[in-house]
Amino acid sequence: MKKRISLYVRSVLTFLRIVITKIFNIKGFHSAFIQDFSITTKISVTERGKILLKKHIHTKRNVILCAEGGTLEIGEECFFNNGCMAVAKERITIGNRVAFGPNVLIYDHDHDISSAESIHDSGYKTSPVVIGDDVWIGANTVILRGTVIGRDCVVGAGSVLKGVYPAGSVIVQKRTENIDEKGRVSG
C-alpha cells in the first residue's frame, strides 16, 4: 500500500514539474506527461537549449538533465540511477531503453584551454554524443564529447569513453592492480 501511494505522489509531482518546466520553457522543453522522476531530479534549460523527453523515463535521486544552449534528447523507457548527469552544449541523443548505473556523467563539451590564459576564459569545444537503443552503462562511467555508442552495447563500470563503439560491443577498460611482494592486491 505504501509503495502504491508513493508511486501516485511521485506521478503527480512529476506531472506538475513537467507542466511548470514547460510553462517557463515553452520553446525549449518537450516531454510526454508519462514520466517517473524522483523529486530531486533537476531539469534545466538555458541559453536557448532544448530538452526533448519521450515517455516512460525513470530517474532516481539527484539526476540532472541540462541543456545549456544545446539539445538533450532522451528516448522511451530510459532509466537513470542515482547521481547521473547529462549536460548538452551542442547535442546529446540517447536512444530507447538505455539504462544508466549510478553516477554516470555525459558531456558533449570540454574546456578549450588552448585559446585562453585562464580556464575561466577558455570557452568550450563541442561534439555531439550519441547513445544507441538498448545500451547498459555501468556505474561511475564518464562519456565525453564526440562519443558514439552503438545499440546493444554494455559499458563496464568506471569507464571513461571517447570515440566510436560499434553495435553489440562490450566495453571494459583495463584496470591495473597494485600487487605487493607477498602477492596481496592493494589500492
Q: What is the pLDDT along the chain (187 residues), one digit of tens a residue?
A: 777 777 677 777 776 666 666 666 667 778 787 788 888 999 999 988 999 999 999 999 999 999 999 999 999 999 999 999 999 999 999 999 999 999 999 999 998 877 667 777 778 899 999 999 999 999 999 999 999 999 999 999 999 999 999 999 999 987 666 666 666 666 5
pTM of the model: 0.84
DSSP secondary structure string for all residues of the chain: -HHHHHHHHHHHHHHHHHHHHHHHTTTTEEE-S--B--TT-EEEEETT-EEEE-S--EE-TT-EEEEESSEEEE-TT-EE-TT-EEEESSEEEE-TT-EE-TT-EEESEEE-GGG-SSGGG--EEE--EEE-TT-EE-TT-EE-TT-EE-TT-EE-TT-EE-SEE-TT-EE------EE-TTS-EE-
Q: What is the pLDDT of residue 111?
A: 83
Q: What is the pLDDT of residue 113?
A: 77
